[in-house]
Amino acid sequence: MRHALLFSVFVIASCGLAYELVAGALSSYLLGDSVTQFSTVIGCYLFAMGAGSWLSKYISRDLIGRFIQIELMVGLLGGFSAAGLFLVFTWLAAPFKLVLYLAVFGVGVLVGLEIPLVMRILKRDLDFKELVSQVLTFDYLGALAVSILFPLVLAPHLGMVRTGLLFGLLNVAVALWALHLFRAQLPARRWLAIQSWAAFAILAAGFAGAGQLMTLAEAHLYADEIIYAETTPYQRIVVTRWHDDLRLFLNNNLQFSSHDEYRYHEALVHPGLASLPGARRVLVLGGGDGLAVREILKYPNVEAVTLVDLDPAMTRLFSTAPPLLALNRGALREARVTVINADALQWLENNDDFFDFIVVDFPDPANFALGKLYTSAFYRLLEKRLSARGLLVVQSTSPLYARQSFWCVVATLEDIGLKTAPYHALVPSFGEWGYIIASRGEFTPSPTPPPAGRFLTAETIPELFHFPADMARLPAEVNRLNNQALVRYFEAEWSKVIR
């Protein structure tokens, strides 16, 4: 019996940490700024655990029965926390933070009650020294196990909703196990059994229907028909369709609309590449949709394009789905294109090739994981891979809505010794959007017309490099790995635009 209870400590410690990780990851996924979200969630959770431990002294009778009921409550509240938070975010976005911290606090209080009760139940069989050492050992081992499994197995393969429900089922399993172990000592055993099996059935039904739950929530979140949705180890990919308009969303953020993506991608590629008639080798970082590659392949002098994108699910989708293949014209399947699924920073550190033109098409720096790809350290790696007269171009958010963020990227590129040529273009889905060409020498737009497209001509390209007063340069810090100034600018500026 003692060993069974100690194993229960291992399980409930795993569950407790899992709920904390789910809340932190989900809030980061939905709100951005992973450092702030994890810090506040962990702080609230630990405080609540302390409150639960303090409250445990008021439980003086029927310790085993109360322990079983607490396991059921934490299983239900913690198990459905991710599903509930996702639904609140999609249907009632305003109170999301309030509901988040109430849920975290509630789960934390219940988890804080568990270990003191187990210790009081076990004190009949162990002296104090053995009791503390063994309970805490299994507690920490449980935390270690889930901290390894969560990022490597659970979140990538089950997703947040099913992961929460799985650990809710484990909490209820502990309650059922305790019900069996102590059946002779429980006066209300039948009532507790009814409660336990009801909780198990509710959580099992939730686990089985988690896919439909996500579909229901996303149907409200996205106005158009969802034709593809997948949670990968790196992001949530959703493609929607309304008539002939296809839209890609990554982690709820719009990446393109097929009605006007040509403006974005022509502006990203042609001002730089049209001025490099001798360009043979091109590198694209990000851009797993293949739309930038589509524009690059219009240049017959380009012999090889290397695309490095982190998520294999992304490049696989845009290499196989017929509507998306039609959009990128099968660019990722072209013989001249090599697709590599890897972290761009690590790939650059281990690569010795040189490129005439480099396209940096990462998502906006909404968190520190993305912000590192806009730092001076990253741009130094890029500069080493540029050929002698090569150019690189960086998509750099909006110089109108995120003005200081845009000029922060300019300052960061200049900090490593590159000359910059900032420019902008109107993309209706996003508004005014910014780009920066960087090179070792001064850049001048070429009078050579770009390949036939729908947006840019040799006459219109020079106009992109002129900035009106409301987008003119502002002073900004250099974005370094140790300060991530760009992420702070980006969040402050876009929070004023998106309410």
Catalytic residues, by residue number, are 361
478-483 contacts at long range (C-beta below 8 A, 24 or more positions apart): 478/376, 478/408, 478/411, 478/412, 478/415, 479/365, 479/371, 479/374, 479/375, 479/376, 479/408, 479/409, 479/411, 479/412, 480/375, 480/376, 480/377, 480/412, 481/372, 481/375, 481/376, 481/377
259 Cβ contact partners less than 8 Å away, ≥ 6 residues apart: 244, 245, 428, 429
273 Cβ contact partners less than 8 Å away, ≥ 6 residues apart: 279, 282, 295, 296, 299, 302, 357, 391, 450
Count other Cβ atoms within 10 Å, centred on residue 312: 16
Cα–Cα distance for residue pair 282/26, rounded to 1 Å: 37
Give the pair of three-digit tokens for residue 409.
Answer: 């990227």
The sign of the CA dihedral 193, 197, 202, 203 is positive
Nearest to 395 by CA among 353, 439, 434, 432: 434
User: Which burial class, exposed, middle or buried, applies to 253 when counting CB atoms under 10 A from its CB (0-12, 13-18, 19+)?
Assistant: middle
Cα–Cα distance for residue pair 23/104, rounded to 1 Å: 7
Nearest to 85 by CA among 249, 374, 93, 115: 93
289 Cβ contact partners less than 8 Å away, ≥ 6 residues apart: 248, 255, 256, 314, 318, 324, 327, 328
How far is the CA of 72 from the CAs of 22, 175, 203, 233, in angstroms?
Answer: 19, 7, 10, 30
Cα–Cα distance for residue pair 155/24, rounded to 1 Å: 12
Nearest to 412 by CA among 383, 391, 386, 387: 383
DSSP secondary structure, 190-244, as one string? HHHHHHHHHHHHHHHHHHHTHHHHHHHHHHHHSSSEEEEEEE-SS-EEEEEEETT
379: left (phi over 0), alpha (psi -120 to 50) or beta: alpha
The angle subtended at Cα 254 by Cα 250 and Cα 255, nearest 5°, is 75
Encoded amino acid at 77, one letter = L
- Which strands, in side-by-side order, build the sheet including 253-257? 225-231, 236-242, 245-250, 253-257
